[in-house]
Amino acid sequence: MKGKRIDAEFITQFIEECIQQQYLTPEEIVVQAQSEINQIDQKILEAEQLKIRRSKLLDIISTFQKPVKIFKDQDLKIISFLQIGNPDICKFICNQLKKQACTKDQLINTQFSIYDFNFCIKQLIEHKVITKIGDTFLRGVMFEEYLRIVLRENNVNYIDATP
């Protein structure tokens, strides 16, 4: 053991422990040290096997508890649909635009507050569900997705009113 520093304090302490256990000869002390080394090696081997098992158990957890990951901009837009407020007003607006392009005056319904109505139009435009050209509102690029995802309409059958 050239170059290795010996811990004299540990050696003294280990010899004292051996003497307390009635290991009095150098051979008995060496056998005791070797026995303890074997126990430590066994625990290290067990720990290494447990680390391998732990890693495999983490694989199981990640397989069954995968967090929802969003990779596409399209997916982000769909999720953002859920943040659009006043679904009743939005549905009314979309139902009108399914039939034909409309102006704001044609869309306004007195059963809804004008403030809420304007807010919904603004949100629908921001999410590209509807678009505005001049004074006319049209279906936007995300119109069908919005109907399918949020309003749960599977077959969107309407007359194409886009220019």
pLDDT digits (tens, 9 = 90+) for 106-153: 877 768 788 888 888 888 888 888 998 888 888 888 888 888 877 666
pLDDT at 120: 87
Residue pair 81/127 in contact (Cβ under 8 Å)? The answer is yes
What's the CA gap between 154 and 147, in Å, rounded? 8
pLDDT at 89: 84
pLDDT at 158: 46
What is the CATH topology of the domain spanning 73-149? Arc Repressor Mutant, subunit A (1.10.10)
Q: 138 in helix, strand or coil?
A: strand
Is residue 75 pLDDT above 80, yes or no? no
